[in-house]
Amino acid sequence: MGIVFDREKNTFTLTTKNTSYQMQIGPLGYLLHLYYGRRAEGCFDYLHLKRDCGFSPNPYELQNDRGWSLDTMPQEYSGANGGDFRLSSLDAETARGQRGADLRYVSHEIRAGKYALEGLPAAFDRGDECRTLSITLADKTSGLQVELLYGVFAEQDVITRAARIVNRGDAAVRLYKAASVCLDLPFGEWELLHFHGRHTLERQPERRPLMDGIQSVASKRGASSHQHNPFVILCEPDTTEDAGLCFGVMPVYSGNHRTDIELDQSGSVRVVSGINSEGFSWLLEPGQHFDTPEILLTCSVSGLAPLSHTYHRFIRENVCRRYIPLAERPILLNSWEAMYFDFDEDKLLGLARETKELGVDMLVIDDGWFGHRDDDHTSLGDWFPNTRKLPHGFDTLLNKITDMGLKVGLWVEPEMVSEDSELFRAHPDWALRVPGRQPAISRNQLVLDLSRGEIVDWLFETLSGLLSGLPISYIKWDMNRHLTDLHSAALPADRQGELAHRYVLGLYDLMDRLTRAFPDVLFEGCAGGGGRFDAGMLAYCLQIWCSDNTDPIARLTIQYGTSFGYPVSAVGAHVSTVPNHQTGRTTPFGTRATVAMAGTFGYELNPAKLTAEEKAEIRRQLERFRALRTLIGEGEYYRLTEAGKGRFTAWQQVSPDQGETLVSLVLTQPEANPKPLHLKLKGLDAESVYTLQAADFYGCNADMPALRLSGAALMYAGVTLPIMLGNTPSMQMIWKKSE
């Protein structure tokens, strides 16, 4: 396993535990993609026959060989304006107006360890897990060189890709497109699985056959967005959870992204992914380089579940720079849905006492603690205590809370500024806005220009002051609007196209500095909920608030879609009050907890408004989650049903040693005279015997008999559940391997 260069055949073969990836230096130095799929031996250039495809031009040097065209050959990184009319990977313009890119092989290097990217998060190895292949291509007209970077994590079945674009010429070159990856799949039929949505309904899975032409999954909102998550899957039509070939393409990026999938005239599929080129340009001076965001590629030959497991493990172990197991993270109660802006010192202390009495570990003080903020019209940027609400100071309040034995967390929205704030009055030019034009307003706030180093420095110093001087263990980092009016007061006119990407680089710089300076603080990402749920943010934030929608029935599909690429340990999920504040729906307390236990688990309610019975139920939920959270956070996650389809949604977690499993089910459509509820479990040891340790039903009267069954019986024959009637009842079963 690893990287092999065959000098005779001019092939590079990247081999992981289950897959092979091969490319070849072809005629005239073009780098051709030969194969990616199930692990296999040999040279695969025999697959790609010459063919004369009408109106597909030939390179000048091969003008008499009409069977060889860039327009029909699979490529590793496509150029532009040179005879390949399919999706380009790189488009550039010289000072003389020469447009396009003609990229040819120059050299390569194979080395131990993992490459790094300047200013960008990227996967890392924890020892000797990775080898790097660097292949340099050059365009002699522009003087550009493209260093294609491949990180081969053989045991993890992951290949990472990025591109470093270097100006080796003597004049500036303007980049108009700089993709991270081009992946050509010359044969087969494919379907696209992507994850769309909107605020409070993120990552809704949609699977469709490819159409002839180009399909795009993209965001130009300045964030990865609620609307289109950057992660996509290509799969064969017969691919299921447990069988079939599929490929994952996951950008490690939190800004404007674009993945284009083209089905061309010959039936070949090309995937090009990276920074969204709309509105993008980058002036590359001589000697400078530009690094593209990283893409995590994986291929599963055994269905969607193994692909998800690969991403889950890889993000936990090789993307999150500091991983804390769920068993070591505090269970929190957030003040937002408990009080919104309506609190003061006495109310917070009362909430803290109630929180401590329940047995919760942490109180998080959400929006409204700073400046003179009583609603969302003011004070963003004024990160000092609201003295009207907190007359004795923030340190006094937090010390009183920690003296109760609680940890304290804090909500911030550092990237934003209110027009009614001391910060804006002092520095109006720090906000993004087009000169001479009134800016668009969203949630009564503007966006700080994080492309400017002095603003990033100010934010680092301001937030460091909070974290250094106060007993804060957790930061909820929010972003409640997207980027509009893109214009920086600090960039010249010919570099304004760099702003959106420079904003993300500034954000990463700020988060990198803060997480290094305060390694004991747990950062949770949030962007109006799940509007920036991506691998780039997970490099700094171990968890992300999955959605502002806390309704458990809506969360079933949101968390189902999220699970295809992102681990349970990253999914911020809470039990909230009823009627739910987003949907108005009332669901059983136990069902709300069942769904929240498919994430980091916490509470979003006011304990003072609960009955004694409900408080007792919370204590039972806490005991249950604490007993199960290692299994939940580290176990293999299986989707037993498709959320939103059928009468119920079910999922399962299996411990790494297959010794224990948790099965959860929510009945979304109770019926009269119902058909039997039947489940087939997954991921167990077929030869071992499992005993049903617990079967808890919530919102209904039901019971399970004592059972002792083989893993084979549970997986192949399954288990039948008792009749569950009521308003969206739920169930959790725990099975343990018998000695």
The catalytic residue positions are: 534, 614
What gap in Å lies between CA 476 and CA 414, rounded to an integer? 10
What gap in Å lies between CA 25 and CA 106, rounded to an integer? 10
Cβ-in-10-Å burial (0-12, 13-18, 19+) of 41 comes to exposed
Tell me, rounded to whole angstroms, the distance of Cα 120 from its chain centroid.
Answer: 15
3-state secondary structure 585-629: CCCCHHHHHHHHCCCCCEEECCHHHCCHHHHHHHHHHHHHHHHHH
- Could you give the C-alpha distances from 406 to 335, 364, 466, in angstroms and in order? 14, 10, 18
Tell me, rounded to whole angstroms, the distance of Cα 641 from its chain centroid.
Answer: 22
What gap in Å lies between CA 575 and CA 551, rounded to an integer? 9
Ranges of beta strands (E only) in 366-471 are: 407-412, 416-417, 446-447
What gap in Å lies between CA 137 and CA 30, rounded to an integer? 9
Coil, strand, or helix at residue 365?
A: strand
DSSP assigned state of 529: T
Structure token digits, residue 704: 């399970």
Question: C-alpha angle 240/246/248, rounded to 5°?
Answer: 120
Of 510, 531, 561, 729, nearest in space to 523 by CA: 510
> Which phi and psi angles does 609 have, rounded to 5°?
-95, 5
Q: How many Å from the N-terminal Cα to the C-terminal Cα in the chain?
A: 37
Burial 532-557 (b: 16+ CB within 10 A, else e): bbbbbbbbbbbbbbbbbbbbbbbbbb
Structure token digits, residue 244: 């079939």
Give one DSSP letter per residue of 21-73, joined into a string: EEEEE-GGG-EEEEEEEE---S--GGG------TT----GGGTT-TT--TTTS
What gap in Å lies between CA 201 and CA 156, rounded to an integer? 31
Tell me, rounded to whole angstroms, the distance of Cα 315 from its chain centroid.
Answer: 9
What gap in Å lies between CA 47 and CA 41, rounded to an integer? 14
Tell me, rounded to whole angstroms, the distance of Cα 489 from its chain centroid.
Answer: 31
Query: What's the count of helices (H) and strands (E) in the chain, helices before strands?
Result: 12, 39
Q: H-type helices in 404-498, by residue range?
A: 422-426, 453-469
Structure token digits, residue 272: 């090009």
What gap in Å lies between CA 31 and CA 136, rounded to an integer? 10
What gap in Å lies between CA 525 and CA 531, rounded to an integer? 10
Q: H-type helices in 211-335, by residue range?
A: 304-314
- Could you give the C-alpha distances from 134 to 106, 147, 306, in angstroms and in order? 11, 6, 28
Structure token digits, residue 281: 């340009």
What gap in Å lies between CA 284 and CA 38, rounded to an integer? 39
Please, are residues 440 and 488 in contact by the beta-carbon 8 Å criterion?
no
